[in-house]
Chain A
């Protein structure tokens, strides 16, 4: 039960989350995104074992963003008609203004909640493999992404090494953030040159293993769509319908 979201077929998860996001884009009211966000939170509480500390950390920027949207829409609204419901200092806020502001900020929360649900419960390698098996993504693209992913730790090592070498030469002592950013260019250039060389080698290595980029007939790790995926997709759809209907009901 607790691992249901982690075991869900990544491609199915991807599709259902994309559908939720696209549908929500057509509903401009505070209730739909709010309900969606709360629903997503509950689904995660029940069906996943994600690290909630990490979740909060990732959510912080989105909370700030949501509040920013809320405030700016409230203060700089164009449509200031309708009854005043609230006044802060000397600013009078009408119902329409408040509605707009809330729908925009809840939207930010709902979208980020959905994305985080996907990101925190999906293994990137499984996702790519599943895209290849369920959604017929070309192996050429799929394996390029996977190889790139393998190179990340190597590139990180290289970055640290160049940084150390530059520090030794006294090239990293620039205090200001601007200078540091400017200096990044000098670290990234040799890395870029090295990356091109590595990419060629990796491509050769793949071809030497008989990789041609054609559609493959058999997979070692098979990702299939099973009953669990059906249940979870229905759950998401139910949540989507409920949150969309709520708009009609509330208005």
Chain B
């Protein structure tokens, strides 16, 4: 088997950092292989990927020891952009990897970069769209497509270069489980048709099945999953009452109730109106219907959007609550009380956001997609945070695509589709009902299957 990518005792660090991101890394990827790289956040997965397509070390003045060989030639001997059409990359963020307005223009941009003759362009665009079954999107405006569609278009843009290797950076982290599954089987067919070599980064392999031939671990992940199924802390005391909430033409007549200490997960396909519902409940967008109480907490996917002050302590006390000091202690934030909230870690930002909501007396907290792009360790941290708070009586409503996480954390599941709340179900009832799950683009969590086997 021919080696296409070869790392030989490679170490890498940024010029300003003393610490090596990774040291003495050696591995090789053969032609036609499907390899996945795993490792916790900060273990250098993306850095490694950037070394494979020559974006690094040039673009960050990084320091590299050892040798990176791409197609039997040292990566340093290529000129910028030379190897990129043989080793194509699809990035994680679906919003920040397109340069042009429409799909056609984007594909043409790629061909222009390769100095393809104008007469050939039309044919190649048509061919690649045909191959991927995306011909109907040829004239679509990219920014108006859904996350899953954008991710496919990104792959098409990579494929039009006729690459030998495809690098994928967490390609499914923004997709609902069903769309992700579809995407994976679509990718599988493509891979076989084109005999591509695939090197992907992923921290959750559940959905990939047996897609990959091999796994490279950059740092050992704690195998024992410390997340165990939560013991419900639901109390017999209603805390949230929503009736007849609707917005314009999209969200239709949503009613439900939540109890104190209850953790509910709101799930459904991409674009089914989950985020819209959270915003409507908090009166961030105009909506009809009644929500009691009106003082609700909301943590967006990017918690720093909430921050308005210069220290964590001020941030928590901003709303005028009096027990900021106590909350600093209870949410383990005392050590960073004087730090700038924009400069702490992502998990801490979320903690600060929740603390400031609680300090405002907002005992019901809505979280929008807190799990997307999080590695195992930060999911455990999030799990603990929710568990602790729920046991003290806080009610949670969490939007997530991650059914493993939902399985561990949720007391009840609210399902949504096309702007309509299908209903509120007991969590165990949902995991049992495969039809209900697939109707909402969801999949049975692996945790549940194991759980079933144990009790059978």
Contacts and interface: CB of A to CB of B under 8 A. Distances in A.
Interface of A: 125, 143, 146-147, 150, 153-154, 161-162, 164-171, 186, 190, 193-194, 198, 201-212, 216-222
Summarize A's interface: helix, strand, loop or mixed.
helix
16 contacts: A125-B101, A165-B298, A168-B306, A169-B306, A198-B96, A202-B99, A204-B50, A207-B81, A208-B89, A210-B81, A211-B81, A216-B112, A218-B117, A218-B121, A219-B112, A220-B121
B228 interface: no
B318 A169 contact: yes
A16 B3 CA distance: 57
Contact of A150 (B91, B98, B298): B98
A146 B100 contact: yes
Interface of B: 50, 53, 55, 59, 80-81, 84-85, 88-89, 91, 93, 95-101, 105, 108-118, 121, 142-143, 157-158, 161, 279, 282, 284-285, 298, 300, 302, 304-308, 318-319, 342, 356, 360
Contacts of B80: 207, 212
Given A193-B342, A222-B118, A166 B308 contact: yes
B101 A166 contact: no
A83 B306 CA distance: 67
Nearest to B55: A204
B161 A201 contact: no
Contacts of B101: 125, 150
Given A169-B356, A201-B97, A209 B91 contact: no
Nearest to A202: B96
A210 B85 contact: yes
Given A161-B300, A218-B115, 16 more contacts: A150-B99, A162-B305, A164-B279, A168-B282, A168-B306, A194-B302, A198-B96, A201-B96, A202-B99, A205-B89, A205-B97, A205-B99, A207-B80, A209-B84, A210-B81, A220-B108
Determine which residue in A204, A209, A211 has the highest number of CB atoms from chain B within 10 A of its CB, and name it.
Answer: A209
A165 B300 contact: yes
A68 to B, nearest CB: 39
B159 to A, nearest CB: 12
Contact of A154 (B143, B282, B342): B143
Contacts of A169: 306, 308, 318-319, 356, 360
A146 B101 CA distance: 9
